[in-house]
Protein backbone atom coordinates (compact mmCIF):
# COMPACT_ATOMS: atom_id res chain seq x y z
CA UNK A 1 0.00 0.00 0.00
CA UNK A 2 1.18 3.52 -0.76
CA UNK A 3 0.53 5.52 2.39
CA UNK A 4 -1.42 8.71 1.64
CA UNK A 5 0.48 11.60 3.18
CA UNK A 6 -0.87 15.13 2.88
CA UNK A 7 0.49 17.22 0.01
CA UNK A 8 3.04 19.67 1.34
CA UNK A 9 0.96 22.59 0.16
CA UNK A 10 -1.95 21.59 2.37
CA UNK A 11 0.17 21.22 5.48
CA UNK A 12 2.07 24.43 4.76
CA UNK A 13 -1.23 26.27 4.44
CA UNK A 14 -2.00 25.35 8.05
CA UNK A 15 1.27 26.83 9.26
CA UNK A 16 0.64 29.96 7.18
CA UNK A 17 -2.59 30.65 9.02
CA UNK A 18 -5.05 28.62 6.97
CA UNK A 19 -6.44 25.33 8.25
CA UNK A 20 -7.15 21.89 6.77
CA UNK A 21 -10.04 21.75 9.24
CA UNK A 22 -11.98 24.03 6.92
CA UNK A 23 -11.68 21.43 4.17
CA UNK A 24 -13.81 19.05 6.24
CA UNK A 25 -16.34 21.42 7.82
CA UNK A 26 -19.08 20.54 5.34
CA UNK A 27 -18.57 16.84 6.05
CA UNK A 28 -18.52 17.38 9.80
CA UNK A 29 -21.79 19.31 9.87
CA UNK A 30 -23.57 16.63 7.86
CA UNK A 31 -22.33 13.53 9.72
CA UNK A 32 -23.59 11.94 12.94
CA UNK A 33 -21.19 10.39 15.49
CA UNK A 34 -20.41 6.74 14.75
CA UNK A 35 -22.79 4.38 16.52
CA UNK A 36 -19.85 2.21 17.53
CA UNK A 37 -18.44 5.09 19.57
CA UNK A 38 -21.69 5.75 21.41
CA UNK A 39 -21.93 2.07 22.29
CA UNK A 40 -18.58 2.01 24.12
CA UNK A 41 -20.11 2.61 27.52
CA UNK A 42 -23.49 0.98 26.89
CA UNK A 43 -24.86 -0.79 29.93
CA UNK A 44 -24.65 -4.58 29.57
CA UNK A 45 -27.88 -6.53 29.60
CA UNK A 46 -28.91 -7.92 32.96
CA UNK A 47 -30.11 -10.60 33.55
CA UNK A 48 -28.42 -13.05 31.18
CA UNK A 49 -29.40 -12.42 27.54
CA UNK A 50 -30.82 -15.92 26.97
CA UNK A 51 -33.02 -15.52 30.04
CA UNK A 52 -34.19 -12.10 28.88
CA UNK A 53 -35.22 -13.56 25.53
CA UNK A 54 -37.02 -16.47 27.17
CA UNK A 55 -38.87 -13.99 29.38
CA UNK A 56 -40.11 -12.23 26.23
CA UNK A 57 -41.09 -15.60 24.81
CA UNK A 58 -43.10 -16.45 27.94
CA UNK A 59 -44.99 -13.16 27.64
CA UNK A 60 -45.71 -13.70 23.97
CA UNK A 61 -43.77 -10.57 23.06
CA UNK A 62 -41.06 -12.05 20.90
CA UNK A 63 -39.94 -9.72 18.12
CA UNK A 64 -39.41 -10.79 14.53
CA UNK A 65 -35.79 -9.62 14.34
CA UNK A 66 -33.04 -9.07 16.93
CA UNK A 67 -29.61 -7.50 16.63
CA UNK A 68 -27.21 -9.14 19.11
CA UNK A 69 -24.14 -7.02 19.78
CA UNK A 70 -21.24 -7.83 22.06
CA UNK A 71 -17.52 -8.29 22.52
CA UNK A 72 -17.19 -11.82 21.14
CA UNK A 73 -18.87 -13.35 18.11
CA UNK A 74 -18.49 -16.79 19.68
CA UNK A 75 -20.39 -15.64 22.78
CA UNK A 76 -23.15 -14.21 20.59
CA UNK A 77 -23.41 -17.49 18.69
CA UNK A 78 -23.74 -19.32 22.02
CA UNK A 79 -26.63 -17.09 23.08
CA UNK A 80 -28.31 -17.60 19.70
CA UNK A 81 -27.94 -21.39 19.97
CA UNK A 82 -29.30 -21.48 23.52
CA UNK A 83 -32.30 -19.38 22.57
CA UNK A 84 -33.15 -21.42 19.48
CA UNK A 85 -32.80 -24.60 21.55
CA UNK A 86 -35.37 -23.16 23.96
CA UNK A 87 -37.72 -22.64 21.01
CA UNK A 88 -37.28 -26.08 19.42
CA UNK A 89 -36.45 -28.37 22.35
CA UNK A 90 -38.63 -31.45 22.71
CA UNK A 91 -37.73 -31.89 26.39
CA UNK A 92 -37.59 -28.31 27.76
CA UNK A 93 -36.29 -27.66 31.24
CA UNK A 94 -38.43 -25.30 33.33
CA UNK A 95 -36.75 -23.05 35.86
CA UNK A 96 -38.03 -21.68 39.19
CA UNK A 97 -39.37 -18.46 37.62
CA UNK A 98 -42.70 -19.04 35.84
CA UNK A 99 -42.18 -15.77 33.99
CA UNK A 100 -39.27 -17.26 32.06
CA UNK A 101 -39.90 -19.81 29.30
CA UNK A 102 -38.17 -23.18 29.78
CA UNK A 103 -34.61 -23.60 28.53
CA UNK A 104 -33.50 -26.20 26.04
CA UNK A 105 -32.31 -29.50 27.48
CA UNK A 106 -29.24 -29.61 25.24
CA UNK A 107 -29.50 -33.38 24.76
CA UNK A 108 -32.58 -34.07 22.65
CA UNK A 109 -32.12 -34.54 18.87
CA UNK A 110 -33.38 -31.02 18.11
CA UNK A 111 -30.98 -29.38 20.58
CA UNK A 112 -28.04 -31.43 19.35
CA UNK A 113 -28.68 -30.57 15.70
CA UNK A 114 -28.99 -26.89 16.55
CA UNK A 115 -25.69 -27.02 18.41
CA UNK A 116 -24.03 -28.71 15.43
CA UNK A 117 -25.48 -26.27 12.87
CA UNK A 118 -27.49 -28.89 10.98
CA UNK A 119 -31.10 -28.36 12.02
CA UNK A 120 -33.25 -28.09 8.84
CA UNK A 121 -35.19 -25.08 10.13
CA UNK A 122 -32.22 -23.10 11.41
CA UNK A 123 -30.28 -21.35 8.65
CA UNK A 124 -26.86 -19.84 9.33
CA UNK A 125 -24.96 -17.30 7.26
CA UNK A 126 -21.28 -16.61 7.96
CA UNK A 127 -18.83 -14.31 6.17
CA UNK A 128 -16.64 -16.13 3.65
CA UNK A 129 -13.49 -17.34 5.36
CA UNK A 130 -11.02 -15.67 3.01
CA UNK A 131 -12.94 -12.57 1.91
CA UNK A 132 -14.80 -12.04 5.20
CA UNK A 133 -17.85 -10.73 3.37
CA UNK A 134 -21.51 -11.65 3.19
CA UNK A 135 -22.58 -11.19 -0.41
CA UNK A 136 -25.92 -10.81 -2.09
CA UNK A 137 -25.97 -14.44 -3.26
CA UNK A 138 -25.74 -15.64 0.35
CA UNK A 139 -28.68 -13.47 1.38
CA UNK A 140 -30.81 -14.46 -1.61
CA UNK A 141 -30.26 -18.11 -0.77
CA UNK A 142 -31.21 -17.41 2.86
CA UNK A 143 -34.35 -15.52 1.84
CA UNK A 144 -35.40 -18.38 -0.44
CA UNK A 145 -35.01 -20.85 2.44
CA UNK A 146 -36.96 -18.61 4.82
CA UNK A 147 -39.85 -18.39 2.36
CA UNK A 148 -40.39 -22.17 2.57
CA UNK A 149 -42.53 -23.85 5.20
CA UNK A 150 -40.72 -25.27 8.25
CA UNK A 151 -39.57 -28.85 7.82
CA UNK A 152 -39.97 -29.93 11.46
CA UNK A 153 -40.44 -27.09 13.90
CA UNK A 154 -43.17 -24.51 14.15
CA UNK A 155 -41.02 -21.71 12.76
CA UNK A 156 -37.89 -21.01 10.74
CA UNK A 157 -34.84 -19.23 12.14
CA UNK A 158 -32.24 -17.18 10.26
CA UNK A 159 -28.97 -16.40 12.04
CA UNK A 160 -26.57 -14.02 10.30
CA UNK A 161 -23.15 -14.03 11.97
CA UNK A 162 -21.16 -10.84 11.43
CA UNK A 163 -23.98 -8.82 9.89
CA UNK A 164 -21.57 -5.89 9.70
CA UNK A 165 -19.81 -7.89 6.96
CA UNK A 166 -22.73 -7.57 4.56
CA UNK A 167 -21.81 -5.64 1.46
CA UNK A 168 -24.22 -2.96 0.24
CA UNK A 169 -25.98 -5.21 -2.28
CA UNK A 170 -26.56 -7.94 0.29
CA UNK A 171 -27.90 -5.47 2.86
CA UNK A 172 -30.27 -3.85 0.38
CA UNK A 173 -31.57 -7.22 -0.78
CA UNK A 174 -32.18 -8.25 2.83
CA UNK A 175 -34.15 -5.14 3.79
CA UNK A 176 -37.43 -6.37 2.29
CA UNK A 177 -37.24 -9.55 4.36
CA UNK A 178 -36.72 -7.48 7.49
CA UNK A 179 -39.61 -5.19 6.58
CA UNK A 180 -41.97 -8.03 5.66
CA UNK A 181 -40.67 -11.19 7.38
CA UNK A 182 -42.21 -14.53 6.40
CA UNK A 183 -44.84 -15.90 8.76
CA UNK A 184 -43.52 -17.94 11.69
CA UNK A 185 -39.95 -16.73 11.22
CA UNK A 186 -37.32 -15.24 13.49
CA UNK A 187 -34.18 -13.40 12.40
CA UNK A 188 -31.12 -13.08 14.65
CA UNK A 189 -28.31 -10.78 13.51
CA UNK A 190 -24.96 -10.96 15.33
CA UNK A 191 -22.22 -8.33 15.37
CA UNK A 192 -19.25 -7.15 17.38
CA UNK A 193 -19.21 -3.88 15.40
CA UNK A 194 -22.71 -2.38 15.57
CA UNK A 195 -21.44 0.93 14.24
CA UNK A 196 -20.77 -0.70 10.87
CA UNK A 197 -24.27 -2.13 10.46
CA UNK A 198 -26.46 -0.10 8.13
CA UNK A 199 -28.90 2.10 10.02
CA UNK A 200 -31.73 0.83 7.81
CA UNK A 201 -31.07 -2.66 9.21
CA UNK A 202 -30.56 -1.55 12.81
CA UNK A 203 -33.82 0.40 12.83
CA UNK A 204 -35.80 -2.74 11.92
CA UNK A 205 -34.44 -4.84 14.78
CA UNK A 206 -34.65 -4.97 18.53
CA UNK A 207 -31.13 -4.41 19.84
CA UNK A 208 -29.70 -6.53 22.62
CA UNK A 209 -26.30 -5.66 24.05
CA UNK A 210 -24.36 -8.55 25.55
CA UNK A 211 -20.97 -6.95 26.02
CA UNK A 212 -19.04 -6.72 29.22
CA UNK A 213 -19.17 -2.94 28.92
CA UNK A 214 -15.40 -2.90 28.40
CA UNK A 215 -14.16 -2.88 24.79
CA UNK A 216 -11.53 -5.40 23.69
CA UNK A 217 -8.35 -3.53 22.83
CA UNK A 218 -5.63 -5.49 21.08
CA UNK A 219 -1.99 -5.12 22.26
CA UNK A 220 -0.95 -3.35 19.03
CA UNK A 221 -3.76 -0.84 19.51
CA UNK A 222 -2.85 -0.33 23.17
CA UNK A 223 0.74 0.35 22.14
CA UNK A 224 -0.31 3.04 19.68
CA UNK A 225 -2.70 4.66 22.18
CA UNK A 226 0.14 4.69 24.71
CA UNK A 227 2.30 6.60 22.20
CA UNK A 228 -0.45 9.20 21.85
CA UNK A 229 -0.69 9.47 25.63
CA UNK A 230 3.08 9.95 25.85
CA UNK A 231 2.96 12.64 23.18
CA UNK A 232 0.24 14.46 25.08
CA UNK A 233 2.45 14.59 28.14
CA UNK A 234 5.60 15.69 26.31
CA UNK A 235 4.07 18.82 24.79
CA UNK A 236 0.66 19.69 26.28
CA UNK A 237 -1.76 22.12 24.73
CA UNK A 238 -1.94 22.68 21.00
CA UNK A 239 1.72 21.95 20.16
CA UNK A 240 1.93 20.81 16.55
CA UNK A 241 5.13 18.81 16.23
CA UNK A 242 4.11 15.96 18.57
CA UNK A 243 0.76 15.68 16.80
CA UNK A 244 2.35 15.39 13.38
CA UNK A 245 4.81 12.86 14.76
CA UNK A 246 1.87 10.78 16.03
CA UNK A 247 0.16 11.18 12.65
CA UNK A 248 3.26 10.08 10.73
CA UNK A 249 3.78 7.05 12.96
CA UNK A 250 0.11 6.10 12.73
CA UNK A 251 0.06 6.30 8.94
CA UNK A 252 3.14 4.08 8.86
CA UNK A 253 1.40 1.56 11.14
CA UNK A 254 -1.69 1.60 8.92
CA UNK A 255 0.46 1.14 5.83
CA UNK A 256 2.01 -1.99 7.31
CA UNK A 257 -1.44 -3.24 8.38
CA UNK A 258 -2.71 -2.85 4.83
CA UNK A 259 0.27 -4.70 3.37
CA UNK A 260 -0.16 -7.61 5.78
CA UNK A 261 -3.88 -7.88 5.02
CA UNK A 262 -3.23 -7.75 1.30
CA UNK A 263 -0.65 -10.54 1.51
CA UNK A 264 -2.89 -12.74 3.65
CA UNK A 265 -6.00 -12.38 1.51
CA UNK A 266 -4.07 -12.71 -1.74
CA UNK A 267 -2.55 -15.96 -0.47
CA UNK A 268 -6.07 -17.32 0.18
CA UNK A 269 -7.47 -16.20 -3.16
CA UNK A 270 -8.24 -18.86 -5.80
CA UNK A 271 -6.51 -16.71 -8.41
CA UNK A 272 -3.17 -18.42 -7.67
CA UNK A 273 -4.62 -21.91 -7.39
CA UNK A 274 -6.25 -21.71 -10.79
CA UNK A 275 -3.82 -19.90 -13.10
CA UNK A 276 -5.65 -21.20 -16.20
CA UNK A 277 -9.01 -19.75 -15.22
CA UNK A 278 -10.92 -17.63 -17.71
CA UNK A 279 -9.94 -13.93 -17.80
CA UNK A 280 -13.46 -12.90 -16.75
CA UNK A 281 -13.27 -15.18 -13.72
CA UNK A 282 -9.83 -13.86 -12.78
CA UNK A 283 -11.13 -10.31 -13.03
CA UNK A 284 -14.00 -11.19 -10.72
CA UNK A 285 -11.62 -12.75 -8.20
CA UNK A 286 -9.41 -9.67 -8.31
CA UNK A 287 -12.42 -7.44 -7.69
CA UNK A 288 -13.56 -9.56 -4.75
CA UNK A 289 -10.03 -9.65 -3.34
CA UNK A 290 -9.72 -5.86 -3.51
CA UNK A 291 -13.06 -5.49 -1.75
CA UNK A 292 -12.05 -7.95 0.94
CA UNK A 293 -8.75 -6.16 1.55
CA UNK A 294 -10.53 -2.82 1.92
CA UNK A 295 -13.18 -4.25 4.25
CA UNK A 296 -10.61 -5.91 6.52
CA UNK A 297 -8.38 -2.84 6.50
CA UNK A 298 -11.28 -0.62 7.56
CA UNK A 299 -12.10 -3.06 10.36
CA UNK A 300 -8.56 -2.97 11.74
CA UNK A 301 -8.30 0.80 11.33
CA UNK A 302 -11.59 1.18 13.21
CA UNK A 303 -10.09 -0.82 16.09
CA UNK A 304 -7.25 1.70 16.36
CA UNK A 305 -9.64 4.64 16.25
CA UNK A 306 -11.87 3.03 18.89
CA UNK A 307 -8.83 2.40 21.07
CA UNK A 308 -7.98 6.10 21.16
CA UNK A 309 -11.60 6.94 21.81
CA UNK A 310 -11.60 4.52 24.75
CA UNK A 311 -8.67 6.39 26.27
CA UNK A 312 -10.30 9.79 25.65
CA UNK A 313 -13.37 8.40 27.40
CA UNK A 314 -11.17 7.43 30.37
CA UNK A 315 -9.80 10.97 30.47
CA UNK A 316 -13.27 12.47 30.41
CA UNK A 317 -14.58 10.04 33.07
CA UNK A 318 -11.60 10.83 35.32
CA UNK A 319 -12.05 14.58 34.87
CA UNK A 320 -15.78 14.32 35.54
CA UNK A 321 -15.20 12.19 38.62
CA UNK A 322 -17.32 9.33 37.28
CA UNK A 323 -17.05 6.11 39.27
CA UNK A 324 -16.45 3.81 36.28
CA UNK A 325 -13.90 1.19 35.38
CA UNK A 326 -11.13 2.49 33.13
CA UNK A 327 -10.95 0.91 29.69
CA UNK A 328 -7.16 1.30 29.70
CA UNK A 329 -6.04 1.02 33.35
CA UNK A 330 -2.41 0.61 32.28
CA UNK A 331 -2.49 4.27 31.16
CA UNK A 332 -3.90 5.48 34.45
CA UNK A 333 -1.01 7.88 35.06
CA UNK A 334 -1.22 9.57 31.65
CA UNK A 335 -5.02 9.61 31.95
CA UNK A 336 -4.91 11.42 35.29
CA UNK A 337 -2.29 13.87 34.03
CA UNK A 338 -4.32 14.89 30.98
CA UNK A 339 -7.56 15.01 32.98
CA UNK A 340 -5.90 17.44 35.42
CA UNK A 341 -4.97 19.80 32.55
CA UNK A 342 -8.42 19.86 30.96
CA UNK A 343 -11.79 21.21 31.95
CA UNK A 344 -14.73 18.81 31.79
CA UNK A 345 -16.10 20.50 28.62
CA UNK A 346 -12.68 20.19 26.96
CA UNK A 347 -12.51 16.50 27.80
CA UNK A 348 -15.98 15.99 26.34
CA UNK A 349 -15.02 17.97 23.24
CA UNK A 350 -12.21 15.47 22.67
CA UNK A 351 -14.74 12.65 22.56
CA UNK A 352 -16.99 14.54 20.16
CA UNK A 353 -14.08 15.51 17.90
CA UNK A 354 -12.81 11.95 17.65
CA UNK A 355 -16.33 10.67 17.00
CA UNK A 356 -16.51 13.04 14.04
CA UNK A 357 -13.19 11.70 12.80
CA UNK A 358 -14.50 8.14 12.97
CA UNK A 359 -17.65 9.19 11.16
CA UNK A 360 -15.66 10.86 8.40
CA UNK A 361 -13.55 7.77 7.86
CA UNK A 362 -16.69 5.71 7.27
CA UNK A 363 -17.15 7.79 4.11
CA UNK A 364 -15.06 8.54 1.05
CA UNK A 365 -12.67 11.07 2.55
CA UNK A 366 -8.88 11.24 2.38
CA UNK A 367 -7.58 9.19 5.27
CA UNK A 368 -4.54 11.28 6.21
CA UNK A 369 -6.50 14.53 6.04
CA UNK A 370 -9.26 13.22 8.30
CA UNK A 371 -6.72 11.91 10.82
CA UNK A 372 -4.75 15.15 10.75
CA UNK A 373 -7.84 17.22 11.40
CA UNK A 374 -8.94 14.84 14.15
CA UNK A 375 -5.60 15.10 15.97
CA UNK A 376 -5.47 18.87 15.59
CA UNK A 377 -8.90 19.20 17.19
CA UNK A 378 -7.93 17.35 20.35
CA UNK A 379 -7.18 19.16 23.59
CA UNK A 380 -4.01 17.48 24.78
Q: Is the dihedral of CA 323, 324, 325, 326 positive or negative?
A: negative
Q: What are phi and psi of 156, to 5 degrees?
A: -115, 145
Cβ burial, residue 28 (10 Å; 0-12/13-18/19+): middle
Contacts (Cβ under 8 Å, ≥6 apart) of 379? 238, 342, 346, 347, 349, 350
- Would you say 77 and 127 are in contact if contact means Cβ atoms under 8 Å apart? no
Q: 317-372: per-residue pLDDT in tens?
A: 999 888 888 889 999 999 999 999 999 999 989 988 898 898 788 767 889 999 99
Instruction: Please give the Cα distance from 35 to 42 (Å, whole number).
Output: 11
Q: What is the DSSP letter of 327?
A: S
- What is the pLDDT averaged over residues 201-229? 83
**φ, ψ of residue 176 in degrees (nearest 5):** -65, -35
Q: How confident is the model at residue 89 (pLDDT cuts 50, 70, 90)?
A: very high
Q: In terms of CATH, what superfamily is 49-209?
A: P-loop containing nucleotide triphosphate hydrolases (3.40.50.300)
User: What is the maximal distance between C-alpha atoms in the chain?
Assistant: 75
pLDDT-above-70 percentage for the chain: 83
**pLDDT at 332 (0 to 100):** 93
| Gap between the Cα atoms of 307 and 156, Å rounded | 39
Could you give phi then psi for residue 354, rounded to 5 degrees?
A: -75, -30
Instruction: List, for residues 38-58, the tens digit of each pLDDT value.
Output: 333 333 334 466 677 888 888
What's the CA angle centered on 89, arms 83 and 94, to 5 degrees? 80
Q: What pLDDT does 251 receive?
A: 93
Nearest alpha-carbon partner for 55 in 114, 90, 103: 103
Residues of the chain with CATH 3.40.50.300: 49-209
Contacts of 60 (CB under 8 A, 6+ apart): none
Closest CA to 378 of 220, 251, 248, 228: 228
Q: Residue 65 and residue 185: Cα distance in Å, rounded?
A: 9
The 10 Å Cβ neighbour count of residue 344 is 12
Name every residue whose Cβ is closer than 8 Å to that of residue 32 and which is 6 or more positions away in sequence. 359
293-322: pLDDT as tens digits: 887 788 788 889 989 999 999 999 999 888
pLDDT score at 311: 94
Strands 206-209 and 122-125 come out as unpaired
Span 133-141, average pLDDT = 87
pLDDT at 3 over 50: no
188 pLDDT higher than 90: yes
Q: Say what the pLDDT of residue 210 is.
A: 78
User: Given a cut of 80, is residue 15 above it in pLDDT?
Assistant: no
Mean pLDDT (whole number) for 58-84: 88
Whole-angstrom CA distances from 54 to 89, 154, 338, 348 are 13, 16, 45, 39
Is pLDDT of 26 > 70?
no
Segment 272-287 shows an average pLDDT of 84
Amino acid sequence: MQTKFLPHGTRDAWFAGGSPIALLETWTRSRKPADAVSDLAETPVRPAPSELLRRSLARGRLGHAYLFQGDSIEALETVAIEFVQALFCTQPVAGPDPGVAPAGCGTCPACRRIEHFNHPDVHWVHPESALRQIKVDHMRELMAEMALRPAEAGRKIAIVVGVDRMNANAANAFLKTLEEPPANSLILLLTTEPGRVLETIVSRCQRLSMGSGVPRIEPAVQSWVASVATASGSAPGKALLPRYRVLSEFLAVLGKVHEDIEERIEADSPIHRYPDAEPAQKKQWEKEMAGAVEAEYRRVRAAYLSGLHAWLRDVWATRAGAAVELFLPELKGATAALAARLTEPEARQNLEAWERTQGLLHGNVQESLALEVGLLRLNL
